[in-house]
Each structure stands twice: as structure tokens, then as C-alpha cells.
Amino acid sequence: MRRDPLALLALPGVGYLVIVFLAPLLLLLYASVRGPDGFSLDGYARVLGDPYYRGVIGASLQLALITTGGALLLGYPAAFALARARGTTQVVLFALIFLPLTVSIIVKSFGWGIVLRRDGILNWALLNLGLIERPVRMIFTEGALYAGMINVFLPFMVLPIYAVVRMLDPRLPDAAATLGASPWFRFTRVTLPLSLPGVVAGVSLVFSLSVAAYVTPSLLMGDRYMTMSMVMAKAFLNLRDWQLGAAMAAVLLVVALVVVVGAAALQRRLGGR
């Protein structure tokens, strides 16, 4: 086989990633089974066996599920409205959804804290509207955490769905109508199935991002809601327990991989039909 000289252009980039990305990851996996006396599965035993750490894994999954569900509920119809907009309006709306992505997660979480404080904007509005008599404690509640997470990850749900919905052929619902399909039937049997690739992309993206959340939970809940990432950070930075941290990291990696591979497989099935 003749070697294509053009293909060599990929060498610097790919080579870089192999050295600086793949190798360290493999090293990490190795560290997860390297105990003080050589090979040991102690790290995994603790991470998967200890009820505390199991609880943390469960908490991370729960957080990811709620965040993904909330983002889907809000983001799905919003993506349709965005796709239906025309001209300058659409560009502006798109920019408004894109802008939060460019703002640092720290700024956003911090801003969310300001919104929720006892002397913050939400309490101020509720008081002035006469809906409550005294400021309500919202900060450091799980509700606030979920809202904050959804706030951070919502654009990652809206944009992939929007990308698919705007490509939908408008004549397909028309054709369904001429065949006697009611508006509801048209939505559930034509529009919804055809929007699924976008939904899969959005759901997998938001889930894999939110299951690894660190900044938002630590800013909004602190140690009261421990996620896998927070355990990892603690293990490495504070406890210097390499094996534990590496094992937790491996678990997180597996979860992320399952989501990515599962989504890709789903996409293939959806696209192939």
C-alpha cells in the first residue's frame, strides 16, 4: 500500500494526543490498581463497595438524571421555537442561547448564588409581589442545585436539538395532514421520531457533562452534596489517596464511555432506517 504523504500531516496532532492524552489516561488506569504493595483492587473495592462512595455515585447519577430531564423538558420545545424563527430574530435568539456558554461557569454559579440569596433578586421579587412575607432560604438547597445545573447545561440540550429540527422537511407534516392525521398524530408519528437524533445528541451530551459536575455542586452546595468529581478532587488534592481518586476517575470514565457509545449506537439505528 502506497503511503499517502498527505496523511503524514495528521501525525503531529495525533501524535501529540497519544503522548499527552492517551498515555496519561492509561497511566491513570494503571494507578487505579496500584496499591502500596503492588497490584490491588482495593481502590475499586472501596469505591464500589463502601456505602458512602456508592452513595456518591448514586448522587452523581441522580444529579445527572434530573439535570438532563429538566433540560430536555424545557429545551425541546424551545429548540422548535428557535428553529421556526426567521432572519435577524433567529440570529439574535441564537446568540442569546449561545452567549451563556461563553460565560465562565464560575461566573454563572456565582451569579446564581446572588439570585438565590436571602437578599437576592428572587426573594426581592417574591416579597414585592406579596407572595411571601419573609425571605425564603433558597441557597444551599437541593432545588437550587438542580436549577443551577439546568441553568449551566441547558444550551447543550437546546443547540443539538435545534440543529436537527431546523433540517426537518416541512412537507412531511403537510403530507401527514393530507392523509388524515390530526395535529397530535402528526407530532407524535412524524415530527417527534424525526427529531430523535437531536434528542439523543442533547441528552448524551448533557448527561455526560452533568455526571462529572464539580464547580456547580461545590459552589451551590459545598460538601453537603458530594459528587464523584468532588470525591476525586478531594482524594488527589487533600487526602493524597491516589488509588482511590484514580479508581473513582475510572468509574466516571466508564460512565462517560457508556453514554457516548450508547448514544452513537442509538444514532446509527435511528439514522440507518
Residues in the chain: 273
**Residue 59 vs 154, nearer CB to another protein:** 154
Q: 42 or 244: whose CB is closer to another protein? A: 244
| φ, ψ at 38 (rounded to 5°) | 100, -155
CB closer to another protein, 40 vs 191: 191
Q: In Å, what is the CA distance from 111 to each residue of 101, 105, 107, 115, 151?
A: 14, 10, 6, 6, 11
Nearer to another protein, 133 or 273 (CB): 273
| CA-closest candidate to residue 116, choices 125, 106, 107, 129 | 125
1 by DSSP, 3-state: which? coil
Residue type, 187: F
Least Å distance, CB 262 to another protein, is: 12
| Closer Cβ to another protein, 65 or 114, answer by number | 114
132: left (phi over 0), alpha (psi -120 to 50) or beta: beta
With a CB cutoff of 8 Å and minimum separation 6, the contacts of 107 are: none
Least distance in angstroms from the C-beta of 8 to another protein: 7
CB of 129 to another protein, least distance (A): 14
Nearer to another protein, 42 or 123 (CB): 123
- Could you tell me which residues come within 8 angstroms of residue 127 by beta carbon, excluding any fewer than 6 positions away? 133, 135
Nearest approach, Cβ of 185 to another protein (angstroms)?
A: 5
CB of 55 to another protein, least distance (A): 19
Q: Judged by CB, which is closer to another protein: 50, or 182?
A: 182
* H or E stretch covering 35: strand 34-35
Give the whole-angstrom CA distance, residue 113 versus residue 46.
34
With both helix axes pointing from N to C terminus, report the angle between 87-102 and 142-165 in degrees, rounded to the nearest 10: 140
CB of 131 to another protein, least distance (A): 16
Cβ at position 13, least distance to another protein in Å: 4
42 vs 108 by CB, closer to another protein? 108
Q: Grid coordinates standing for 131?
A: 407572595
11 exposure class (CB count in 10 Å sphere: 0-12, 13-18, 19+): exposed
Give the number of other Cβ atoms within 10 Å of residue 227's Cβ.
26
Q: How far is the CB of 265 from another protein (least distance, A)?
A: 14
